[in-house]
Structure 1
Amino acid sequence: MPRYRDALPQLSGKPVLTDGGLETVLVFHEGIDLPSFASFPVLREASGREFLTRYFDGFVALAGKHGVAIELGSATWRANPDWVALIDGSPDGTAGVNRQAIDFIADYRDKLDGSTPIPICGAVGPRGDGYIADSAMSPDQAADYHAVQIEALASTEADLITAFTLNYVEEAVGVARAAATAGIPAAISFTVETDGRLPTGQPLGDAIQQVDEATSAAPAYYMINCAHPTHFAGVLDTEAPWVTRLRGLRANASMMSHADLEEATELDEGNPDDLGRRIRSVRDRLPHLSVLGGCCGTDIRHIAAIANACLS
């Protein structure tokens, strides 16, 4: 049974840390070739499972040090039917791939002493490219498409799903509807360009308001991921009603644009301490932000810097 699905620590008002950029850690730190940047295949090898155990150990210890919860996310950002078909040759294994990823975290959590709250997040990604709105669906099409993965995650011990790196509203609406139908809380995490707007050009606040209007405010909360604080800090109007729906940040280590990151052959790790200070500056303005973590280029050093800046 899910431990926190009916009482998410992320909504308690207390800080919750997350892990960092799993895929970039695997590629650039561990030298693992991820097919189509999908991390779920690492669970098929003993060495991959051992790495993920060590990876999670660091973040759990960090959260314990600061006395806060740690959200552990599944290796399923690219485990929807299209990506599973591209990697495995058929979409038929989508449900099994997602259940395996959550079962791994649940088994890991069961072996710990329980002193640190660990909500399990089922990661959902966009159908297409996270940086380009290149496979636009209607809300109904998006709900039907994502239902396969979300229903599989809802049947596990996952406490919530988070749809990361979404770049247009209609897909976000579909994800929120599919999660509501499956009976699992959903966080919607948009990515933004260097001007703080979605890749479609839509202002972030307008996107959040549009999703809420189309779904009767179904998402549990909203987030920003895969962007640096310098990209979005300027659009977070503390007086705007939509800002209260924003509860999480998973920032990139790099200040580079999505286009530049796509072309980069080396990892830009940025400055962990500077990233922590910038996240602290945003949280000083928006103290209701509770979910604090990292995305591309971040690792345990960046999350430790964020924790030190925001929680010490």
Structure 2
Amino acid sequence: MSTTHFWESGRRYVSDGGLETDLIFNRGVDLPQFASFPLVEDEAGRQHLRDYYGQYAAVARRAARGLTLETPTWRASHDWGATLGYDDAALARANRAAVALMQELRSSYDDVEDVRIIGAVGPRGDGYVAREAMTAAEAAQFHLPQVEAFAEAGVDVVGAYTMTTAAEGLGVARAARRAGLPVLVGFTVETDGRLPDGSTLREAITLLEEEGAADGFIVNCAHPTHIAPGLQEGEWLARVVQVNPNASTLSHAELDDAEHLDPGDLPLLTSSYAALRDRLPGLAIVGGCCGTDARHVAALVGA
């Protein structure tokens, strides 16, 4: 029996924006290693997150849309956790605590029509560079502990964001399958619309489709004008259900070197995003990534 997932229901959803860049540059929150998951460990950190996600609940409320709450766990995997002094047990606790906070928020947003929790998984390495690529089997083993923590805590779906290789995306999908969870797999692209490892979006998504590994796909952390060249015609385009763009037209390398936040050109962001929507018939979740905040996401929803 086939399962209809929430993003296939015909309802549209608001996602959040660039969590880490908003906290660092707009709110002055210190995030070592660009990691937001430690904020769930104390009340002051949790309040920062409540304030942040509350903006997007307001956007969803005004637009009469559903809302997806992506856990602040993009860096809450073994290698990044180790650099912050987290062992495996502490990481599992933090991942479960992040889901618990999202559940608390969902309960408080009783006037938003539908709220779903996405357990966010990030790449093992840098989200902008494809170095020391893993095989799919290695990636599945690496990401499984985080995905199992999500399953224990009760997320609606796993979301892999900013994957730089198809193999790592496939590994996350396999881990989610082992944990019994649906999964959306997301890739980032460079200015030419290709993944950082040089493969095309079509190639990456087709590889996962051949295995039936994912329930849908995401593109994030790139400006719409960078995503557009990668949207080669084909049935695979209907499988892209979420696009969270960067605000800036700068390349990943330029963003890495930037000392100040580039909020981008809002009219260009919205018009170029609207052009993407016309090519992605399955697009159901609208949000932002680096450099975006609630103002950007509200404009994208309106576009």
**Which is worse superposed, 45-54 or 260-269?**
45-54
Q: Is the 8 A contact 1:273 1:302 kept in 2?
A: no
Partner of residue 132, structure 1: 129
Q: What is the CA–CA distance in structure 1 between the aligned matches of 2:125 and 2:133, rounded to whole Å? A: 9
Q: Secondary structure at the match of 1:119?
A: strand
**Which is worse superposed, 239-248 or 249-258?**
239-248
CA-to-aligned-CA distance 1:248-294 (integer Å, 9 cap, x gap): 10000000000000000000000223312221121123232111110
Q: Which residue of the other structure, out of 282, 293, 298, is the alignment partner of 1:299?
A: 293
Q: Is the 8 A contact 1:127 1:135 kept in 2?
A: no
**Which is worse superposed, 96-105 or 273-282?**
273-282
Partner of residue 23, structure 1: 20
Partner of residue 229, structure 1: 224
Q: Is the 8 A contact 2:65 2:112 kept in 1?
A: no
Q: Is the 8 A contact 2:189 2:221 kept in 1?
A: yes
CA drift of 1:296 comes to 0.3
Q: What is the CA–CA distance in structure 2 between the aligned matches of 1:89 and 1:15, rounded to whole Å? A: 37
Q: Secondary structure at the match of 2:118?
A: strand
**Structure 1, unaligned runs of 5 or more:** 1-5
Matched, 1:208 2:202: no
Q: TM-score, normalised by structure 2?
A: 0.95
CA drift of 1:121 comes to 0.7
Q: Is the 8 A contact 2:263 2:291 kept in 1?
A: yes
Q: What is the CA–CA distance in structure 2 between the aligned matches of 1:51 and 1:102, rounded to whole Å? A: 16
CA-to-aligned-CA distance 1:195-231 (integer Å, 9 cap, x gap): 0001111111011101222xx3221101110000110
Identity percentage over the alignment? 44
Q: What is the CA–CA distance in structure 1 between the aligned matches of 2:5 and 2:241, rounded to whole Å? A: 12
Amino acid of the structure 2 residue aligned with 1:48: G
**Which is worse superposed, 39-48 or 136-145?**
39-48
Q: How many residues align?
A: 301
Q: Is the 8 A contact 1:225 1:251 kept in 2?
A: yes
**Structure 2, unaligned runs of 5 or more:** none
Partner of residue 245, structure 2: 251
**Which is worse superposed, 75-84 or 6-15?**
6-15
Which consecutive segments of 4 or more residues in structure 1 shift more than 4 A? none
Amino acid of the structure 1 residue aligned with 2:222: A
CA drift of 1:9 comes to 2.3
Matched, 1:273 2:270: no
CA drift of 1:114 comes to 4.9
CA-to-aligned-CA distance 1:137-159 (integer Å, 9 cap, x gap): 11111111100000100111210
Q: What is the CA–CA distance in structure 2 between the aligned matches of 1:89 and 1:53, rounded to whole Å? A: 23
**1:1-312 matched pairs, under 5 angstroms:** 8-213=5-210, 216-237=211-232, 239-309=233-303
Q: What is the CA–CA distance in structure 2 between the aligned matches of 1:241 and 1:136, rounded to whole Å? A: 28
CA drift of 1:11 comes to 2.1
Q: Secondary structure at the match of 1:155?
A: helix
Q: Is the 8 A contact 2:13 2:68 kept in 1?
A: yes
Aligned-CA RMSD value: 1.4
Q: Secondary structure at the match of 1:88?
A: coil
